[in-house]
Structure 1
C-alpha cells in the first residue's frame, strides 16, 4: 500500500451558503470562508472540500450548473475563488471542489441549444427519447421526482433527468461531451485546486435499452452500468494522472467488490470513494450492521484501495442526531462518533458544525424547508391525499436541511452567521451550541476533535494500521484494534445510554495500556487489567504496551 498525502489527510467539508455570510445578504459566501480559514486550520484539517459555487439558477443549491467556468454571484466571483485557493495554500492546506458532470442545469446554454430542435448539433449532448404508448419511455423514478422523464412540448420528446426536471443528464456516450468536461477539469486544476469530489460519478453510464425496472423504487438501475469504468479510465488518462491531486467519488449502490473497481490502485480511475451502505441504508444506528459494513469494506479494499469515513454531510442528517444522542449525552455522543470516524480505516471527513456537536432540526412548517428533494416528495404524497401533518413528520428526520442550517458561531442574533435574514432558519439551540462557547470550554467537542486530529497526524497506526474487530455480536459495545508494525492501539466505544462492563480482548490481557484519549474527564473506579467500566457514550483510545 502506497503512502500518500490524501490518505493521511483530514477533510473538512464547507457547505459555503451555510458557513459564514460576509455581506449581510443572508447567504454564506466565499469571502465568509476566507474570514474563517484560520478556524479550520486551528481545528487541524488538511483539506477543504468546497460544495459547488459555479454559476447556477440554484434550484438544487448549486448542483444545477449553468456555467462551469463562472462563479455564482451569491458565492462571490472568480477573483474571490483565486484568492481563496491562494490563502488555503498559504496556510498549508489544500482545497478540492465538487465536480458535477452527470447533469447540468436546464438553463445551461448546452441544454438550451439541445432542446431547441431535434437537429440541433447539441441535441445528442443530452438524453432524448420518444414516448412509449403515449407515456414516459419507461417506468423508472428519479431521486427527486416520480419520473426521470420530462416532455419537451416543442419537439415532442422526453429528456432524462436522474434528479430534478431542472437537472437534465448529460449523454456521456457523446465524445464531444466528454472532451468538454475534460477541458473544464483542466481549467480548474490549472487554477490550482487540489482535486475533486465527484458528484454521483457512477451514474454517468446509462442502461443501453432503458428497459422497465422490475422495482422502479430501487434506484440502483441508475448507477454502475456498462461503460462507466471506460469513462473513468479515459478521464484519468486525459486529465487526472497529470496532476498531484485527490479524487473522491460519490458512488451509491456499491458493495466492496464494486467499489474496488473504482478505487483499486491498479485500476487508474479514482483514489477513494464515498459508499452509502451506512448513510443511505442505515436510517438509524444499528451497531451490528455497522460492524459488518466496516469489516466487509476493510477486507474488500485492504492493500488494494482506499475508503472514506463519514457519518454525515450536506445530504445526510447530522450524526449526533441521527446516530447518537442529541439530548442528555450530546457532548459525549458527539465525541464518541468523532472517535469512531477518525479511528476507522480510510480518510475521515468532518462536515461543518460537526466539530461543535451541532444537531438536526425540526421545523414546524414545510414552508421553512428548502430541500428540493423533501419538498417534491411532500407535494407528491400530499397530492395523493395523504395527511400533510403526518407526511411532514415522516420526512423531517432525514431531510437534507437537517445538516444545512447555518453554522452557529456565537449566541448573538442568527448565531453570528449573518447580519441579514438567513436563507434558511438557524437552529434554535444556537444559544447553547456555538463556536464561541466551544472555543472557551476546554473539554468541548471542538477541543476533543483537535486532539483526535493531532493523534492521527502524529501516529501512522491511525492511517495505515490493520483493523480487527474484537466485539463481534455485541450490540452496544465496539472494541477494535489498529496495528502497524510493533504498535497496537485499542479503541473501546460504548454506544449506549447505559453503563457497560467491558471484557478486554486477549490481546490486552496481562499487558500494560496507556490511555491516549477519552471523552470523559476522569477514569472511573472498577477498571482492571482485563476489564473496563464504560459510562454512557464513553469512548477511549489506548496504546497497548508490552504487546504479546
Structure 2
C-alpha cells in the first residue's frame, strides 16, 4: 500500500480519534460546565495542519442531547436537539463547520439501548397499555407483585421498576430513570434510523453506539444464570487488597442476543446511505471472540469495535502481546481494530499503571503505533491521572451508591487544565468537579519539548505521514528482551520496526539485530544509543532494506 493508497483509506482507519467529554473540556460562559462553544474555540489544539496540534482525524463527543442528567447525558430526553447547558443547535452547527474546515470528522454518542423516563416516548408509554408508544419499552406483569425474573441493573438492584399507571414493571438495565427500549418493535427501529439520518444530514460523520450488545433482550424473559467468582479490583484501583467472593450475573439472556446482530446490520445499512460515515460500538461484559463478532463479516455490522482488554492487563510486554496477537488472529478478514487505554467510565491508564511521564510516553507510543484506530481520551495527551475526590464532591450516581468503594467515575471526568489562570483556564465560575492537575496544563506542556503532550503531538504527526503506521499490516516479532514489545508495520512504500521498552531498566540491543544498525526515524530519546534502549523508550526504525 502506497502513501497515496493510505489516504484513500476511510478516515476512521487512518488517524487518531479523540474522545471529548464535553462537560469537562472547556466552559465558555462561566457556569462551570464545558460546552460546545468552548470546544469549538479549542479545535486548533486538536488539528491545525501543523505538528503543534494533536492532528486528530475524528472527534467523538459525549452526549450533548437534552437530558435530566441522572447519568450525565446517557439518559436522553430528546434525540434531535442540544441540551441548553451545552449550547444551541446553532452552536452545534458552528462546531461541525469548524471541525470540517480543519479536516476533523465528528462522531456523536448515540445512546439507544435506553432513553430517559422524561423522553416523550416514555411519558406516553407509561400512561396506558394501549398507548402506541407503550411497546417502545419492555414491560412485564411480574409474578405476585414481584419482578418477572432475576435480571439485575448494572448500577445495582433489580432491573425492574414498578409503574403504577399501568400496574406492570418496566425494564432498566441501568438507572430506573433509564428505561430500556424494545428493539423488537420495528416502528422504534425506524425512528432510531431517522434520528441517525437527522444528524448525518447536519454533517455528523459517525456514531459511537453505547452498550450496543444490550439492545435485544430474551423474548421469554428467562432468568440469567450466575457464577461464583472472587472479584478483584482493576489494576490501579486504590483497593488493591480488596478481593470479594460473590455471585455474579452472567447476563446470558440480556446481553449478546442473536437478534442484536440483525439490528446492527440494519443500522449499518443506514450508515452506508451516505459515503464516509461510520459506527463504532461499545461491547461490554464478554470474551474477545464475542466482542469481535460485532464486526459481522467485517463489512456488514459495526465499522469499529472498541477493544477494552488493555483495561484489565498488567503493564507487561507479555500481557500486551497476548491480547494484541489474539485480537489480530480472531479479527474478521475485512475488519479493522480499535484500541483504547482510557475512557470516561474507567480509571485513567496513568492511574491504573502508576505511570511516570516516561512510562506514559511508552504507553501512548504503543497506542499510536499498533495496527488499527487509536482512541485518545481527553487529558491522556497530557498524561493526566485520576483525581481523588472527597465524598462531598462526588457527582456520579455509581460513586454515591457504593461509597466508600472506589468504583465511581468522577475521577476520570474532572475538567481539563488549560493554563495558569484560576481553575486552570477551564472556567471563570465554579467547576462542576475540581480541575485536574493544573501544573500539567496545555500551556505548560506545550512549552516543554520533553512533556507527554509534546511527545504525543510529535508521534501523531509522524504517524499521519507514514503509510505503514496508518494503514499497513502488522506482525509481532522477537525483541531484544522479554520486557520489550517489538513489531513490524509494512506497506508497499515502507517497512518499519517499532520497539518499545516497557520497563524501567536499560535493555541492550544485540549487535547485528534488525534495529542495531538502523538510524531511528522516531525516538523518545533526543540522542538514542544504538547499543541499548533506555527505560520506557519508544523507537521506530526504517527496516525496508
TM-score scaled by structure 2? 0.89
Task: Specify whether residues 372 and 476 from structure 1 end up closer, same or farther in structure 2 by C-alpha distance, changes over 3 A only.
Answer: farther
Counterpart among 287, 291, 299 of residue 321 in structure 2? 291
Task: Specify whether residues 500 and 201 from structure 1 end up closer, same or farther in structure 2 by C-alpha distance, changes over 3 A only.
Answer: same
Counterpart among 426, 432, 442 of residue 423 in structure 1? 432
Q: Which residue of 1 aligns with 2:540?
A: 541
Q: Which residue of 1 aligns with 2:385?
A: 359
Q: Which residue of 2 aligns with 1:185?
A: 196
Per-residue deviation at 1:220?
4.1
Distance in 2 between residues matched to 1:241 and 1:307, nearest whole Å: 23
Q: Which residue of 2 aligns with 1:87?
A: 98
Distance in 1 between residues matched to 2:460 and 2:249, nearest whole Å: 38
Per-residue deviation at 1:254?
4.7
Q: Which residue of 2 aligns with 1:515?
A: 520
Q: Which residue of 1 aligns with 2:399?
A: 374
1:95 partner SS: strand
Counterpart among 339, 350, 353 of residue 376 in structure 2? 350
Q: Which residue of 1 aligns with 2:242?
A: none
Task: Specify whether residues 277 and 182 from structure 1 end up closer, same or farther in structure 2 by C-alpha distance, changes over 3 A only.
Answer: same
Question: 2:481, 2:507 within 8 Å by CA — same for their partners in 1?
Answer: no
Task: Specify whether residues 254 and 514 from structure 1 end up closer, same or farther in structure 2 by C-alpha distance, changes over 3 A only.
Answer: farther
Distance in 2 between residues matched to 1:520 and 1:131, nearest whole Å: 64
1:52 partner SS: coil
Distance in 1 between residues matched to 2:317 and 2:413, nearest whole Å: 26
Distance in 1 between residues matched to 2:450 and 2:309, nearest whole Å: 33
Residue 115 in structure 1 maps to residue 126 in structure 2: yes
Residues 173-193 of structure 1, C-alpha deviations (whole Å, 9 max, x = no match): 011110111111111100111
1:166 partner SS: coil
Distance in 2 between residues matched to 1:220 and 1:69, nearest whole Å: 31
Residues 421-470 of structure 1, C-alpha deviations (whole Å, 9 max, x = no match): 0001123x31x211111111122212211221112111111123222223
Distance in 1 between residues matched to 2:481 and 2:513, nearest whole Å: 18
Question: 2:205, 2:277 within 8 Å by CA — same for their partners in 1?
Answer: yes
Q: Unaligned regions of 5+ residues in structure 1, if any?
A: 379-391
2:419 partner SS: coil
Task: Specify whether residues 462 and 507 from structure 1 end up closer, same or farther in structure 2 by C-alpha distance, changes over 3 A only.
Answer: farther
Deviating more after overlay: 217-226 vs 201-210: 217-226
Distance in 2 between residues matched to 1:252 and 1:503, nearest whole Å: 42
Task: Specify whether residues 127 and 264 from structure 1 end up closer, same or farther in structure 2 by C-alpha distance, changes over 3 A only.
Answer: closer
Task: Specify whether residues 184 and 399 from structure 1 end up closer, same or farther in structure 2 by C-alpha distance, changes over 3 A only.
Answer: same
Residues 293-346 of structure 1, C-alpha deviations (whole Å, 9 max, x = no match): 111111222642011111001112222221351xxxx22122111110011111
1:69 partner SS: coil
Per-residue deviation at 1:536?
2.8
Deviating more after overlay: 304-313 vs 144-153: 144-153
Q: Which residue of 1 aligns with 2:488?
A: 481
Residue 442 in structure 1 maps to residue 453 in structure 2: no
Question: Where do 1:296-311 residues align within 5 Å?
Answer: 296-301=326-331, 303-311=333-341
Q: Which residue of 2 aligns with 1:207?
A: 218
1:86 partner SS: helix
Residue 20 in structure 1 maps to residue 26 in structure 2: yes
Residues 72-113 of structure 1, C-alpha deviations (whole Å, 9 max, x = no match): 011001111111111111122211111111100011111111
2:485 partner SS: strand
Residues 245-282 of structure 1, C-alpha deviations (whole Å, 9 max, x = no match): 12111112454543443224554222111132232x44
1:217 partner SS: strand
Residue 464 in structure 1 maps to residue 471 in structure 2: yes
Per-residue deviation at 1:541?
1.8
Distance in 1 between residues matched to 2:141 and 2:513, nearest whole Å: 64
Residues 358-382 of structure 1, C-alpha deviations (whole Å, 9 max, x = no match): 111112x22212222222233xxxx
Question: 1:285, 1:324 within 8 Å by CA — same for their partners in 2?
Answer: no
Q: Which residue of 1 aligns with 2:244?
A: none
Question: 1:309, 1:346 within 8 Å by CA — same for their partners in 2?
Answer: yes
2:80 partner SS: strand
Q: Which residue of 1 aligns with 2:154?
A: 143
Distance in 2 between residues matched to 1:134 and 1:31, nearest whole Å: 49
Distance in 2 between residues matched to 1:133 and 1:275, nearest whole Å: 42
Q: Which residue of 1 aligns with 2:42?
A: 36
Per-residue deviation at 1:40?
0.8
1:70 partner SS: coil
Per-residue deviation at 1:166?
0.8
Distance in 2 between residues matched to 1:522 and 1:406, nearest whole Å: 35
Per-residue deviation at 1:33?
0.6
Question: 1:261, 1:267 within 8 Å by CA — same for their partners in 2?
Answer: no
TM-score scaled by structure 1? 0.88
2:309 partner SS: coil
Deviating more after overlay: 301-310 vs 177-186: 301-310
Question: 2:271, 2:277 within 8 Å by CA — same for their partners in 1?
Answer: no
Residue 217 in structure 1 maps to residue 243 in structure 2: no
Distance in 1 between residues matched to 2:135 and 2:119, nearest whole Å: 15
Question: 1:514, 1:545 within 8 Å by CA — same for their partners in 2?
Answer: no
**Higher helix proportion (structure 1 or 2):** 1
Residue 334 in structure 1 maps to residue 360 in structure 2: yes
Q: Unaligned regions of 5+ residues in structure 2, if any?
A: 2-7, 48-52, 227-246
Residue 126 in structure 1 maps to residue 137 in structure 2: yes
**CA RMSD after TM alignment:** 2.3
Residue 50 in structure 1 maps to residue 61 in structure 2: yes
Distance in 1 between residues matched to 2:486 and 2:513, nearest whole Å: 12
Question: Where do 1:66-105 residues align within 5 Å?
Answer: 66-105=77-116
Residue 63 in structure 1 maps to residue 74 in structure 2: yes
Q: How many residues align?
A: 513
Per-residue deviation at 1:7?
0.6
Moved over 4 A (4+): 264-267, 471-475
Question: 1:60, 1:372 within 8 Å by CA — same for their partners in 2?
Answer: yes
Counterpart among 264, 275, 280 of residue 248 in structure 1? 280
Task: Specify whether residues 217 and 256 from structure 1 end up closer, same or farther in structure 2 by C-alpha distance, changes over 3 A only.
Answer: closer
Q: Which residue of 1 aligns with 2:308?
A: 276
Residues 498-540 of structure 1, C-alpha deviations (whole Å, 9 max, x = no match): 3344558x8717x73121222233324xx43xxx2x3332222
